[in-house]
Amino acid sequence: MVLRYAYLLRGSWARIAELAYWPTMQMLMWGLLAEFLAGHSAFFVRAGGVLIAAVLLWDILFRGNLGVSISFLEEMWARNLGQLFASPLRPHEWALSLLVISFLRTLIGILPAALLAIPVYRFSIFDLGPQLVAFFALLLVFGAAVGLAVSALVLRYGLGAESLAWVAVFAVAPISGIYYPIAVLPEWLQPVALALPSAHVFEGMRAALVDGVVDADRMIYAAALNFLYLGGGFVVFLRVFDIARRRGALLQMGE
Amino acid sequence: MSAAGAGNAEDGAGAAAIRVDGLFKRFDDIEAVRGLSFSVARGHIVALLGGNGAGKTTTIAMLLGLITPTAGRIEILGVDMIGNRYAVLPRMNFSSPYVDLPKRLTVRENLRVYGALYGVPRLGEAIGRISADLNLTALLDRPYGQLSSGQRTRVGLAKSLLNRPAVLLLDEPTASLDPETAERVRAYLSGYCRETGATMLIASHDMVEVERMCGQVLMMKEGRLVHDGTPAELIAAYGRDTLEEAFLAIAAGNGW
């Protein structure tokens, strides 16, 4: 199945360009804002790269989600579910292939923006070192868990729900503390935010870039939460898949 | 997953390739299939007939594991299809003009992906052989979406034969083919079954095709099996001269 999605990407330069286009534009825009703020704020003088790092890390989460849900939608648009599931392909094997292709799509999307930030803004996210690998993995897995849940919704309610693939992940954006600490949220909302792996990653990012410390506890907590979210995403996806078999939806789904 | 190929000796000669017992399927308030029971002997080519809405597509989808029955039992090659479908799916395949392949992938890419899913050994050789047999070699590097409907039908057939299935389910296998190509495809499919001992269940509205290829006819109406016998027995049972006339007599009253 990974081969199927790789063929699809290889066959269209526009698809590959689209993967990198938005993260690059975002990085350039937020980089300019960071440069402006650095001239007016002592905080940004001290931690100039924090906005650029935030936008790059957010895009890992966003792309991780899209990588799963768009690959899933490709099968719906192609009316290919009947062919796939009359073959020996098992639903969990398909879901795993969606995670692998999500990883590849995210790398293709983020790497150009991360590399471009080095000459343009003299900021290298790679300076985060091993922490970057942890941030990347945690955000990718959380994005994939959201993507699986969104895919399950589309499988249950049809292509009328496909716009969720693009917008669903933004529900966690305000409370993930991408550009500001969780402490600025209303007190009652902070526990909700801390139930998200993404909130711990962005707090960890600020700890690394602003204070120069590695907050390992947060990473462990985020990994435990991810385990729950990804497990939940799988359970929901497989359950909805069973319902689709009962409803005959695997043959009917399509444009 | 491995492509065991057709006619595996361990299946036990003479046993049914497909056995359906008391099959029901209800979608909300619609009963699509009502108490269907039949069996298809190994190595036979059997037609599944019926007018629109008779329940043929739902039945085929249940045989493939794409739809879960409300009640009843399905055995394919002696394996319980409902509880253990992945034990037998590598030895089955299907083709339907109503279920597409990815349009942006080339024919070769599609065959590679599906060959890999079915665990076909020496996939490159298998693709070369089936493409030559179905006159697809010149089309291998063209996107599937750019092909004519007749060419797509042949690509679907190539996909369905790639793993040399022991049980092949075909929905209108010659749809959109010109008469000459359709005749070649029928001869090829019949030859495949003769050589490999594979079993074929065909849903078709082409009665000439059914008479030419099939030794057994299963006739469905309103979700029930109304006839199970040879084409000649069906014609005689309804006092008609041709299978087409017998089909029209049975299907009458289905409305539009």
Cβ-nearest to B66 among A242, A251, A254: A251
Q: pLDDT band for position A47 (50/70/90)?
A: low
Give me chain B's average pLDDT, please. 88
Q: pLDDT band for position A45 (50/70/90)?
A: low
Contact list, B114 vs chain A (CB under 8 Å): 83, 87
Residue A28: predicted pLDDT: 80
Structure tokens at B103: 């349009």
Q: pLDDT band for position A48 (50/70/90)?
A: low
Residue B72: partners with Cβ closer than 8 Å, 6 or more residues away: B20, B21, B22, B23, B24, B35, B36
User: Distance, in angstroms, between A112 CA and closest chain B CA?
Assistant: 26
B199-203 and B45-49 strand pairing: parallel
Span B126-130, mean pLDDT? Answer: 95
What would you measure as the largest C-alpha separation in chain B, in angstroms? 52
User: Mutation test of the interface with chain B: which of A239, A251, A252, A253, choosing the one with the most B Cβ atoms within 10 A?
Assistant: A251
Contact list, B93 vs chain A (CB under 8 Å): 86
Taking CA atoms, what residue in A is nearest to B25? A246
The secondary structure of residue A209, as a DSSP letter, is: I
Structure tokens at A216: 């390992």
Residue B2: predicted pLDDT: 40
Residue A252 has pLDDT above 70, yes or no: no
Residue A40: predicted pLDDT: 72
Nearest to A137 by CA among A187, A197, A217, A193: A197
Structure tokens at A209: 């870039």
pLDDT, tens only, A134-170? 999 999 999 999 999 998 988 888 777 788 878 888 8
pLDDT, tens only, A167-201? 888 888 889 989 889 999 999 999 999 999 999 99
B79-80 and B71-76 strand pairing: antiparallel
How many other β-carbons are positioned within 10 Å of the β-carbon of residue B187? 12
Residue B10: predicted pLDDT: 46
Residue A44: predicted pLDDT: 66
Residue A74: predicted pLDDT: 85
Q: Are A66 and A146 contacting, i.e. CB atoms less than 8 angstroms apart?
A: no
User: What is the edge-to-edge ordering of all strands in the sheet holding B167-171?
Assistant: B92-95, B167-171, B199-203, B45-49, B216-221, B224-229
Question: Which amino acid type is present at position A27?
Answer: M
Interfacial residues of B (vs A; Cβ cutoff 8 Å): 1, 27, 57-58, 61, 64-68, 86, 89-90, 92-94, 96, 98-106, 109, 112-114, 116-119, 143, 159
Q: What global pTM score does this model have?
A: 0.82
User: Distance, in angstroms, between A71 CA and closest chain B CA?
Assistant: 12
A56 burial via Cβ count (<10 Å: 0-12, 13-18, 19+): buried
Best-predicted range by mean pLDDT among A124-128, A161-165, B44-48, B211-215?
A: B44-48
Asked if this assembly's ipTM is beyond 0.85, the reply is: no
Residue A90 has pLDDT above 70, yes or no: yes
Rounded CA separation B38/B72 (Å): 12
Contact across the interface for A242 and B68, Cβ inside 8 Å: yes
Q: pLDDT band for position B256 (50/70/90)?
A: very low
Contact across the interface for B99 and A74, Cβ inside 8 Å: no
